[in-house]
Structure 1
């Protein structure tokens, strides 16, 4: 193949890869499986091309297909790739034992999350013995402005950098979710001053949450948090939670630097 032919085929190959990634992202973000028509409307891709792409991904196990309903969803191969990401990530590996010990120490739910654009993505969770929920948060994303995890990480950045990351409009998850940039900037200034983030029912009614950014790397990308029902929060327990978070953050940061 000559250079001219390569130049003509390269854009088509890139477009195909780009479509594949966009398709997987749309299905991953959807709360339900989607039909060919729904996917075509979401992606604005010719149906014939999209159909062939769907069949290829189904054959390779990246997507599942319900022939009865004509719908497509994420397949088991995508799960395997996601699991390998967690298995190979040095911060997740360094945090595994530490957050398990922290959960025992404070008997509250503990999370590890990473900033991804304007969201935080949960990488690991250890549920409190008080908690009955069985659905894991791992792999789920939440707007950074609505979580203590996100606030701890946004506070490591300038207000201009924060504004560049976040959407133009804030979507309220509860009636207490911060709704405008000025209010968020004030909250982040408070986080910088005290060294940890706190939110009260901004993400989930009845819960407050404390978070600390991990001291690893030049710019904080990861944070750990502890969720506490308001009914159990008092000054003594708050101190116990914060002491535990700071100790755990130092231990995880040290472990990640050692490659543990």
Structure 2
């Protein structure tokens, strides 16, 4: 399939994404392997990114990590009045009403990228972080984003057999397609202990111009979940969805895909 992406630019962004999700950092050899590219083509990019402080190399381990310039870019974005800030205000309200953790994600290829989070005030709560990526197929946020894609689009994103992270993970494309049909019928996505045991997620898409650009979720530990609590979570999310999508219509969107 034809692509409009510029290969060197694409690799720079791939390097940033890889390092942002690597706690231990990566060597040049590991980066080249992950990108399926020769080290000779990666090295000039890495040198330039290092010189500009977007990444840095630990001299004792020769591992590259995400650099301070990426923080500066993020701060500049966060300091603007954005649609993301409006969503974060709604997320504060969601957590206040549900007493549980609220998360916001967007699609990044076949992954969901977590871009905002409001923690539950409860002492026992979901441990996750902004910037993390998880597969679309086994997360509530991911399924909310996938639900209205065509079967062809979904099959192009994943292999027939999917990685199972827990005994509860949907592990085939056909089972995923069935679950996405249920998601469309319900109007929201659910995930019960498929990425982490004891963690459940209810999610809704955030739509703009009749297409999902992000998804919003409430995460509930298994020992606190019940039918009534799940029903309340759906109601809270749907009210927030309506507020946010009204804001999109009035002011547009400056994030997402």
Bin the TM-score by the shorter chain.
0.7 to 0.9
Aligned counterparts, 1:77-116, within 5 A: 77-85=69-77, 90-116=82-108
Structure 2 partner of 1:258: 250
Any gaps of 5 or more consecutive residues in structure 2? 1-5, 253-257
In 1, are the aligned partners of 2:166 and 2:197 still within 8 Å (CA)?
yes
Q: Which of structures 1 and 2 has the bigger CA Rg? A: 1
Runs of 4+ aligned residues of structure 1 deviating over 6 Å after TM superposition are none
More displaced 10-residue stretch of structure 1: 221-230 or 134-143: 134-143
Mean Cα displacement is larger for which, 107-116 or 231-240? 231-240
Please say if 1:45 is aligned against 2:42. Answer: no
**Residue 58 (structure 1) aligned with residue 50 (structure 2):** yes
Aligned with 2:182 (options 169, 186, 190):
190
Q: Quote the Cα distance in structure 2 between the aligned partners of 1:114 and 1:230.
A: 25
Mean Cα deviation higher: 213-222 or 103-112? 213-222
Per-residue deviation at 1:181? 1.1
Are residue 243 (structure 1) and residue 235 (structure 2) matched?
yes
For residues 134 and 232 of structure 1, what CA distance do their matches in structure 2 show? 12
When residues 38 and 182 of structure 1 are mapped into structure 2, their CA distance, relative to the original with a 3 A threshold, is closer
Q: Is the 8 A contact 1:92 1:123 kept in 2?
A: no
Following the alignment from structure 1 to structure 2, what is the Cα–Cα distance between the partners of residues 239 and 27? 38
Counterpart among 44, 66, 83 of residue 74 in structure 1: 66
Report the number of matched residues: 246
**RMSD of aligned Cα (Å):** 2.5
Q: Where does residue 200 of structure 1 map in the other structure?
A: 192
Hey, what does 1:161 align to over in structure 2? 153
2:83, 2:241 → 1: CA distance? Answer: 11
Distance in 2 (CA, whole Å) between partners of 1:249 and 1:157 is 19
Q: Offset of 1:92 from its aligned partner? A: 1.5
Question: How much has 1:138 moved relative to structure 2?
Answer: 1.3
Alignment TM-score, normalising by the size of structure 2: 0.84
Unmatched runs of 5 consecutive residues or more in structure 1: 1-13
Partner of 2:211, secondary structure, is coil
Structure with greater proportional helix content: 1
Secondary structure in 2 aligned to 1:224? strand
